[in-house]
Amino acid sequence: MEKPVSNEKLAYYQEFLDIIPMLFQDDVSVALADTKTFIDVRVSEGLPLNAKTGQAVPQGGAVHKTLTTGRVMIQEVSAEVYGIAFHSYSFPIKENSQVIGVLVVGKSLRHKYELLEKAATLADSLVQSTKAIDEIANASQFLNETNQEIADTAKITADKTKEIEKVIAFVKEVSKKINMLGVNAAITAAHAGSHSKGFEVISKEIRNLSGTTAASVSEIETVLGDIRQSVDHFSDQLNSSLLSLNSQSAATEEVLASMEELNSAAEMMKELASSI
């Protein structure tokens, strides 16, 4: 502790110089000045003040302004001045309405700026993450819409396949009737005897046409069955994909909502840190 001062009121404030730093969580340096010099300076390792015991009060500074105006002076000193940012508080000490000294408290802003930096970093990270998730959501939406269009096309294809099946059924019925016509022509040729050569040729060609038609229809049915099976399998797979995409889209929306809340929290952190 420095040498006690002669003025009783200044000595009273001097007794509290060791207690004041205990009231703060940050690094705090304190000093006591009379109207001309610093009479007691207690410097924290984390916050060096540009003042020494016995040093004259510099003109134009916060202490000098408090001495001349009698008002409390509060100002923020940037890190460029002493290497670390801090708040400076200058309180006038009066006796019989006259300013006889100044109590100076320097409070480090290290924690404030560390918090501001972390909040800014968090905010930037959240912004980038939100953008990335938003892009994923847009891509999922686009893919979902594309898959839905494909699913609609697959349904149309399946419906067309059913229409083709109706045509095939009709052709099969026609083939049966052609075959019956050939059989009737053969019977007629048998009854006509030697005059039935023309009927035999016609009968043979009709039955050949019937057989060819039936074989073609059978092949078409086989191919159509394969197409129908492929379309059905594709539709099942596509429906599963759509369900998965819908679930993913819903999850992405929830994540985006959470990210928005985190962004708001980060902004609140920045505002809170700025008010410290």
How would residue 25 be classed by pLDDT, with cut points 50, 70 and 90? confident
Using the predicted structure, report yes or no on whether residue 1 has a pLDDT greater than 50.
no
Phi, psi of 108 (to 5 degrees): -60, 140
Q: What is the pLDDT of residue 102?
A: 95
Longest pairwise C-alpha distance within the chain: 158
pLDDT at 34: 93
pLDDT of residue 98: 93
Confidence (pLDDT) at 66: 93
Quick one: pLDDT band at residue 135, thresholds 50, 70, 90?
A: confident
Residue 170: pLDDT band (50, 70, 90) is: confident
Which amino acid, one-letter code, is at 185? Answer: A
Closest by CA position to 166, among listed 128, 208, 118, 221: 221
Helix axes 197-275, 110-192, angle to 10 degrees: 170
